[in-house]
Amino acid sequence: MKVISNTTVISNFSEIHRVDLLESLFSEIYITSSVYEEIITGIETGYDFYKTLLAKINTRSESGFIHLIELSNDELLKLIELPSSLHKGESSSIIIAQNREYLFLTDDRLARNYCKQNQISFSGTIGCLILSVRKKILDLQTANEILAKMIQNGFYSPAPKLDDFINL
């Protein structure tokens, strides 16, 4: 299944310099131009960790596992059907996930609720860490250490450890 992400999940991994985990989980991740603009705005606002993320974004002149994707004309028209409370990055990503049956990576509560109500496949930071353990990319202790770093940096997690979510 192809994967599209909004800014939240890739930001959490980027901030702790572990975007490599996303690359190990998903050989390719797609982002919309709205998400790309949010990353550029983040750099302009002083979030320097986004600078290393830019090297992972495949533009015409660079290689990387994150690819820019555009909405079709029909998809652009569907944007007005989404709740106005969603940001542009979430909205554009949801439209692609819904129409092209991509897995949508987001930690945004409103976006996740919309996905639940509309049967759109989604996961988030916690889901990616759990999948990393299940695929044996990380052991549980290392995944918990990564989660602790994310929480320390301001990530809201429903639990301080992944143990309750994983049946080994």
Task: For residues 118 and 21, give the distance between their C-alpha atoms in angstroms, rounded to a whole number.
Answer: 28
Statement: residue 52 has pLDDT above 90: no
The 3-state DSSP class for residue 85 equals: coil
HEC secondary structure over 136-148? CCCCHHHHHHHHH
Confidence class for position 77, pLDDT limits 50, 70, 90: very high
What is the value of pTM for the model shown? 0.93
Res 168: pLDDT = 53
Confidence class for position 134, pLDDT limits 50, 70, 90: very high
Statement: residue 15 has pLDDT above 70: yes
Confidence class for position 62, pLDDT limits 50, 70, 90: low
Share of the chain above pLDDT 90, in %: 85
Tokens of 16: 């702790």
Q: How far apart, in Å, are the Cα atoms of 4 and each of 41, 98, 133, 150?
A: 20, 11, 21, 21
